[in-house]
């Protein structure tokens, strides 16, 4: 039996697109975890339930690596990392553009410091495996823990090299297909120059973690065929993804896509309402 995959989905790292690929490779045994930023106790309860389930192939959600302590040993943990300044700025815009926090959008220098929904060094924190990952000081101990876990992950991808990362994931995880659709794309992630310094201070540990990931994965990414990666990236821009067209009719694809869009809008509404309550 294939060991289950657990996706540690760090916000704004292309995790939605990666989760979509995993979901279609493991359609029968997928389990979704509640968002840890919305209700950490619900995340823990669900993880304990998952541990006792008979058939699990994929576990995914915005949850830290700490949930490993609640799941059976031997499961495979995977994640994606993104250039920290671009990720943090995208996360900041996401929170304020969706009006999750009340009031006008402040500059990042103020918004990042004040918002409980935008913790510093989030990638390092979520991959540290520490029980106090949200409140632990941003120090060398936190970074050392994350670097150790980074090397032990079954698979880690790089958002800026998404096509190449997906081809590596197919080989590493035994996926039938690496075809994907672009999800939650909101621009190119360009950080305004006037905000770079504030974002850099907010992500000092993440910058070191990301550079280590590039050094670790660089040779593997360089070995991926540029032609194959380019073909996969072009396919991702099509209206209907090869993930669906391989087994479904066009009418079925369109019907299910419309239904899925309705579900996603409903989920966004519920999450936005809950996060507003948290933010006060």
Q: Quickly list H helices, 122-225.
A: 122-127, 140-152, 162-173, 196-202, 204-222
pLDDT band of 245, cuts 50, 70, 90: very low
User: Which of 29-38, 53-62, 144-153, 189-198 is modeled with the greatest confidence?
Assistant: 144-153
Sorted by sequence, the CB contacts under 8 Å of residue 190 that are 6+ apart come out as 86
Q: Tens digits of per-residue pLDDT, 182-217?
A: 666 555 567 888 888 989 999 999 999 999 999 999
Among 119, 99, 109, residue whose Cα is nearest residue 12: 119
Please report, for the chain, how many H helices and E strands are present, in that order. 12, 5
Are the beta carbons of 201 and 209 closer than 8 angstroms? no
- Check residues 189 and 52 and name the one with the higher pLDDT: 52
DSSP 227: H
What does the radius of gyration of the chain's CA atoms come to, in whole angstroms? 19
The rounded distance, in Å, linking the Cα atoms of 245 and 243 is: 6
3-state helix, strand, coil in the chain (%, to 5): 55, 10, 35
The rounded distance, in Å, linking the Cα atoms of 25 and 7 is: 13
How much is the pLDDT for 12? Answer: 93
The rounded distance, in Å, linking the Cα atoms of 235 and 73 is: 37
How much is the pLDDT for 210? Answer: 97
Full set of structural domains in the chain with CATH:
5-279 (3.40.50.300)
């Amino acid at each position: 039996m294939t060991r289950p995959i657990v996706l540690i989905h760090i916000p704004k790292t292309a995790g939605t697109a990666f989760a979509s690929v995993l979901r279609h490779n493991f359609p029968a045994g997928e389990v979704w975890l509640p968002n840890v930023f919305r209700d950490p106790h619900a995340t823990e309860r669900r993880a304990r339930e998952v541990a006792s389930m008979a058939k699990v192939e994929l576990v995914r959600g915005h949850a830290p690596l700490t949930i490993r302590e609640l799941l059976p040993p031997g499961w495979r943990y995977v994640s994606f990392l993104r250039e920290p300044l671009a990720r943090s700025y995208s996360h900041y815009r996401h929170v304020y553009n969706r009006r999750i926090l009340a009031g006008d959008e402040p500059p990042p220098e103020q918004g990042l410091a004040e918002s409980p929904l935008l913790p510093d060094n989030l990638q390092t924190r979520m991959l540290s495996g520490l029980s106090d990952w949200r409140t632990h000081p941003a120090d060398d101990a936190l970074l050392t823990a994350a670097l150790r876990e980074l090397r032990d992950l079954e698979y880690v991808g790089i958002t800026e090299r998404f096509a190449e990362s997906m081809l590596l994931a197919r080989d590493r995880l035994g996926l039938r297909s690496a075809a994907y659709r672009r999800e939650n794309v909101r621009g190119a992630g360009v950080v305004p120059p006037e905000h770079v310094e504030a974002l850099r201070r907010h992500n000092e540990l993440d910058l070191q973690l990301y550079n280590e990931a590039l050094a670790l994965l660089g040779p593997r990414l360089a070995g991926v065929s540029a032609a194959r990666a380019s073909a996969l990236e072009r396919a991702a821009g099509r209206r209907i993804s090869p993930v669906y067209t391989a087994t479904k009719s066009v009418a079925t694809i369109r019907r299910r896509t419309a239904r899925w869009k309705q579900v996603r809008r409903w989920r966004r509404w519920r999450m936005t309402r809950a996060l507003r309550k948290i933010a006060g």
